[in-house]
Amino acid sequence: MVAVDASRVHRAARWLVRQHLERIASRPMPRGLAPSGIEEAYAVQEAFVSLKSRHCGDVVGHKIALTTPRMRAMVGLDAPLAGRLHARQVVRGPACVRAADYGRLLVEFEIAAQMAADLPVLTVPYTIDQLSRAVGAVMPALELADDRGADYATLSARGPELAADNAWNEGAVLGAPKADWRGIDLAEITGIAYVNGAIVGEGRGADTMGHPFAALAWVANHLASRGHGLRGGDIVITGSLVTSKFPQAGDRIRFEAGALGAVELQVS
């Protein structure tokens, strides 16, 4: 990995913590703190996640963002992004959150996997088959994120900042875990998103890099490249089947994922 300036990394992480705690509207990071590239961005993310853990609990899982070329082009990156999930921000549905607790809440509609076994760091890439043998349960999930009112027109110049900011993750709402998922073709799952009972989007499991476990393998290999492994019990949300939605107070969100069941969120 490329050497990074540890002092600069920790100053950047503290700056991000302040932005979130004070719900300051999204803005470019100061020139002296903005990561110079993706390697430094992930170093900032690690420091930011460590500080955030004091308020939000230990890391209990991971996310993948930007699973399509179109989404990556929007932020000027050529690969997906990884982020971490914190214990106090991962809940079982049905759940309720307050819109006022976010700068601007956004919700994504995903398939989540829970690991049944540890995956050690390997020097060769993990395959989908290897990952599937280590998955204990699969479930529908709603990712909770906060873009703090980001100006999407400027994101193409700020991709590493998105990585540093833990890919905007602020938790997940999980449906009931399904342990007998092996008879389900996850690539062919149809996901349907609802807001207040009206359909607002549909997608298939294959929309996430061809298969949800292809996204899961990407996360495992990304972690291995940084000296980390997935752990038994970890939750991994594998990318949205539907475009992001921006719910308002009073909205009821539902995501149906075929044989995997459904998950619901009330926004107050």
9-22 tens-digit pLDDT: 999 999 999 999 99
Task: For residue 197, report the phi and psi dihedrals to the nearest 5 degrees.
Answer: 85, -10
Cis-peptide into 125, omega within 30 deg: no
Centre a 10 Å sphere on the Cβ of residue 201 and count the other Cβ atoms it contains.
17
User: What is the maximal distance between C-alpha atoms in the chain?
Assistant: 52
Asked if 190 and 204 touch (Cβ cutoff 8 Å), the reply is yes
For the chain, helix, strand, coil in percent to 5 are 35, 30, 35
Of 10, 81, 93, 75, the C-alpha closest to 47 is 10
Average pLDDT, the chain: 93
> What Cα–Cα distance (Å) separates residue 59 from each residue in 115, 120, 132?
14, 17, 22
The arithmetic mean of pLDDT across residues 58-62, rounded, is 97
CA distance 156 to 76: 4
Of 53, 74, 61, 79, the C-alpha closest to 228 is 61
- The pLDDT, as a whole number, for residue 124 is 83
Q: Which residues contact 192 (CB under 8 A, 6 or more apart)?
A: 199, 201, 202, 255, 256
Helix (H) / strand (E) element for 258: namely none
pLDDT in tens, 127-148: 999 999 999 999 999 999 999 9
- The pLDDT, as a whole number, for residue 159 is 83
pLDDT in tens, 98-124: 999 999 999 999 999 999 989 888 888
Cα 34-37-42 angle, rounded to 5 deg: 85
The arithmetic mean of pLDDT across residues 18-40, rounded, is 92
CA distance 84 to 82: 7
Find tokens 């000027």 and name the residue.
76
- The pLDDT, as a whole number, for residue 221 is 94
Confidence (pTM): 0.94
* Domains within the chain, CATH numbers bracketed: 58-267 (3.90.850.10)
- The pLDDT, as a whole number, for residue 74 is 67
- The pLDDT, as a whole number, for residue 70 is 66
Query: Which residue type does 91 have?
Result: V
- The pLDDT, as a whole number, for residue 73 is 72
The arithmetic mean of pLDDT across residues 146-174, rounded, is 90
Q: Which band of pLDDT confidence, cut at 50, 70 and 90, is reported for residue 175?
A: very high
Task: Kindly state the tokens that stand for 71.
Answer: 């989404």
- The pLDDT, as a whole number, for residue 120 is 85
Q: What percentage of the chain exceeds 70 in pLDDT? A: 98
pLDDT in tens, 207-224: 999 999 999 999 999 999
pLDDT at 196 over 60: yes
The arithmetic mean of pLDDT across residues 57-66, rounded, is 95
**Torsion sign across C-alpha atoms 55, 136, 164, 69:** negative
> What Cα–Cα distance (Å) separates residue 61 from each residue in 141, 200, 210, 216?
13, 28, 22, 11
- The pLDDT, as a whole number, for residue 215 is 95
pLDDT at 76 over 90: no
Q: Which band of pLDDT confidence, cut at 50, 70 and 90, is reported for residue 1?
A: low
pLDDT at 3 over 80: no
Cα 186-192-197 angle, rounded to 5 deg: 155
Task: For residue 169, report the phi and psi dihedrals to the nearest 5 degrees.
Answer: -70, 140
From 35-49, 68-82, 246-260, the region with the lowest mean pLDDT: 68-82
The helix/strand/coil state of 97 is strand
CA distance 213 to 90: 20
pLDDT at 5 over 90: no
Query: Which residue type does 222 have?
Result: H
